[in-house]
Structure 1
Amino acid sequence: MNIAVIFAGGTGKRMNTKSKPKQFLEMHGKPVLIYTLENFQQHPMIDKIVLVCLEAWIDYAKSLLKKYAIDKICRIVPGGDSGQESIFHGIQAAHEIFHDEDVVLIHDGVRPLINEDTITSCIKMVKEHGNAITVSPAIETIFLKEADTQQVGKIFNRSSCEMAKAPQCFKLGDIYQAHCRAIEEKKLDFIDSASLMQHYGYPLYTVEGPAENIKITTPVDFYIFRAVMDAKENLQILGF
């Protein structure tokens, strides 16, 4: 089985919106979260979806799932006080239903521009190596910031650097056990699943995804999403 755990538990403070969390903002009349879910709903290799959602918005999310016929959802669970806790809620729900050897794909609800080929490549990589971290090449110079100064620290060769994105994919039993260890050891500040798994000794394998696979965090990201969607629509009109 291949299960997507979609994390839509954030409040979107950096979007400067007071009406709706960022995952429910609409683009061309459709919420961002639905664009994301449709990529997994329509993928032939995805069997089920676990949705992690802000507790106060679960009923609204259910109404959207019905409206847009997202029927691969097998469980909706509330988010936690942090991203790590919210993801664990989703992993835990999946672990109650599925098996340790099943593949789980952890993805942001506000990362709607993932594509079918990347999802397929991730599943194949997990089956071959046990995990798959979606990445894209670094296109800007990256350096370490010197603590408590305005000086530039070590500058990295960007040709050797990649940006970790999503989905981040694992055997369900591996990621569940790693989360349980982190909770037991009170290590609750991992920035993502890749950093958690690397901390516990797992060698990680990469899958290169599309450059436009952005996470919508700020208003600028939302405008980029709109530009990409408009460009794709225009190409379809022109027959490309």
Structure 2
Amino acid sequence: MEPVSAAVSAVLPAGGSGERLGGATPKQFCGLQGRPLVSYAVRAMERVSWISDIIVVVSPENIETMKSIVEKYGHKRVTVVKGGITRHRSIFNGLKVFAENQSSNRLLQKPEVVIIHDAVRPFVEEDILLKVVTAAKEHGAAGAIRPLVSTVIASGEDGCLDHSLERARYRASEMPQAFLFDVIYEAYQQCTDHDLDYGTECLHLALKYCKTNAKLVEGTADLWKVTYKRDLYAAESIIKDNLSQQICIITDLKEAVAQVGFLLHESLKSQVKVEAISISLRKNDSHLQNIFSGECYNFLCINDKEYATEEIQQLVDMLEKSNIPLLYPVILILVHLSISENISFSIGLEELTKIKKFAREVKKKNILVYGLLIQCKDHFSLQETVNSAAALTMALIKDRNPELIGQLLVA
């Protein structure tokens, strides 16, 4: 991304009650893959290095909840601010932190450009943020738009159709939006109570009170807002799909184990990005450290032991130190390998109990452990068994079902 030659901060209104979602928990605090929705939006901003400060505005009763989320997930550059009774009043409170130094945590520098983005739009990417910020710096205000999906109609007093709008001429206003800070802050200062209580569109305020015509930027399809319960399911599906794009296959240096690792790599590579490494798990391998410092959330560890206790514990320790499981649940599939004319490899009740107990313990660290048995009589039937193992692997990483931890699946 090109560097942004302006001080940029973000305000995330997160004070809604989530009435349309139903249920007692406001939608911004609903869990997706064990992590609240608002944390995803914060993380999206946090990953952009040129955003200096992130202001999250929540209702007074949720201040401590939001602070605990910031602490639990290690969010940086975040200030939690008390919101108002409406969306506009909450955004205004967020802007005041810069203009009136109301933050009790630290002195925040007033930005040249401020991004406003809903805390329940979790999938915003850096490129669209850059586009609206660049446009706002030039025009004073900018916002993402999307084509209308449905035609907008108006009804008369009798409840019958009065007229419809020509859909091609109109667009849906989305987030993110960006403004020169002085423009949007001046607009909010001039707002009437009616604006603050009933208005929803920030771009309109900039036009109404500062005569600033916003530049409209074509947004992407993933800017949608979580509004209804079905949207939560859709968001979780997208998150699972994103987490399933890469897998790391870890084998030791034994020939048979490395061969299975290679065959799994070949079987999986058409469906997912695969990183395969052969190492001695008993050593602190720098290659493995590099893998853990990336953003891979799926690991396949192949061994020919009934239960490689020390090696598996080392993997878990390295994962925990990497902080990878902090944001998303990590999948760790333990592949037990047995290739012999006389199939004698078996895992007894004691070992199965040990695996289940271990899986329950590491689940607390957001690591989901599954077992997978590859067992065949000869090398000729190995490829077919490996293909079955690859299918089971893809099912596990796509479903990410915490109820199946500690189970031993047979390929």
Q: Normalising to structure 1: TM-score of the pair?
A: 0.91
Structure 1, 110-119 or 30-39: larger mean CA deviation: 110-119
Contact 1:214 1:221 in 2 (8 A): no
What are the superposed Cα offsets for residues 108-142 of structure 1, whole Å, 9 maximum, x if unpaired? Answer: 11111111111111111112221111111112222
**Cα separation, 2, equivalents of 1:234 and 1:30:** 17
**Number of corresponding residues:** 235
**Cα separation, 1, equivalents of 2:49 and 2:235:** 25
* Number of the residue aligned with 1:163: 172
* Number of the residue aligned with 1:98: 109
What percent of counterpart residues are identical?
A: 29
Instruction: Map 1:75-224 onto structure 2 (within 5 A).
Output: 75-96=79-100, 97-99=108-110, 102-143=112-153, 145-183=154-192, 187-188=195-196, 189-200=198-209, 201-224=211-234
* Number of the residue aligned with 1:239: 272
Helix, strand or coil at the partner of 2:23: coil
**Cα separation, 2, equivalents of 1:239 and 1:127:** 40
Note the aligned Cα RMSD (angstroms). Answer: 1.8
What are the superposed Cα offsets for residues 33-92 of structure 1, whole Å, 9 maximum, x if unpaired? Answer: 00000010011221111110121111121111112121111x321111111111110011
- The unaligned stretches of length 5 or more in structure 2 are 1-6, 101-107, 248-270, 274-411
Letter in 2 for 1:7: P
What are the superposed Cα offsets for residues 124-174 of structure 1, whole Å, 9 maximum, x if unpaired? Answer: 11122211111111122222x123233223323322221101112101111
- The unaligned stretches of length 5 or more in structure 1 are none
Letter in 1 for 2:46: Q
Letter in 2 for 1:154: H
12, 16, 31: which is aligned to 1:10? 16
TM-aligned CA distance change 1:122 to 1:148, over 3 Å: same
Q: Structure 1 runs of 4+ off > 4 angstroms?
A: none
* Number of the residue aligned with 2:57: 52
**Cα separation, 2, equivalents of 1:229 and 1:64:** 19
Which structure has the higher relative contact order (CA within 8 Å, separation 6+)? 1
Letter in 2 for 1:93: V
Contact 2:66 2:80 in 1 (8 A): no
**Cα separation, 2, equivalents of 1:111 and 1:70:** 17
239, 258, 282: which is aligned to 1:229? 239
**Cα separation, 2, equivalents of 1:152 and 1:231:** 42
* Number of the residue aligned with 2:262: none
TM-aligned CA distance change 1:154 to 1:3, over 3 Å: same
* Number of the residue aligned with 2:46: 41
Contact 2:139 2:212 in 1 (8 A): no
Q: Which has the larger radius of gyration?
A: 2
Helix, strand or coil at the partner of 1:132: strand
Letter in 2 for 1:89: N
Contact 1:50 1:94 in 2 (8 A): no
2:74 pairs with 1:69? yes
**Cα separation, 2, equivalents of 1:78 and 1:131:** 25
Letter in 2 for 1:70: H
